[in-house]
Amino acid sequence: MTKITIQLPDDPVREAEGAGLLAPERLEEMIRAELRRHHLRELLRLSDELIATELPRMTMDEIQAEVNAVRQARRARAARS
């Protein structure tokens, strides 16, 4: 568990305390929610970047060949275990 100390103006702190927003559980919920939003924005940014690269599209046969190769590699690893 990590302990943090922050400095904020008095008025918003009083209002947040009155609304129950400074309880550790509530702060954790808000931080986790903001992290989810952050990760989603990053995923969308990367998705836009990928779309902009204009990579050649794969045919269904090429996709199936990649899937088959991954499955074969997994079976080979499982057989060695």
> Cα Rg for the chain, rounded, in angstroms?
24
Q: Looking at the domain assignment, is residue 30 inside a domain? A: yes
What stretches of the chain adopt beta strand conformation (E)?
none
Per-residue pLDDT for 77 more than 90?
A: yes
Q: Find the domain containing 61 and state its range.
A: 10-80
Q: Looking at the domain assignment, is residue 34 inside a domain? A: yes
Residue 69 token pair:
């190769």
Q: Looking at the domain assignment, is residue 1 inside a domain? A: no
Each residue of 39-63: pLDDT tens digit? 999 999 999 999 899 888 899 999 9
Structural contact between residues 60 and 51, judged by C-beta atoms closer than 8 angstroms: no
What is the sign of the dihedral through the CA atoms of 38, 41, 45 and 50? positive
Q: Looking at the domain assignment, is residue 63 inside a domain? A: yes
Q: Looking at the domain assignment, is residue 32 inside a domain? A: yes
- What is the spatial distance between Cα 46 and Cα 31, in angstroms, rounded to a whole number? 22
Q: How many domains does the chain have?
A: 1
Q: Looking at the domain assignment, is residue 2 inside a domain? A: no
Terminal alpha carbon distance of the chain: 37
Q: Looking at the domain assignment, is residue 55 inside a domain? A: yes
Does the reported pTM lie above 0.75? no
Q: Looking at the domain assignment, is residue 17 inside a domain? A: yes
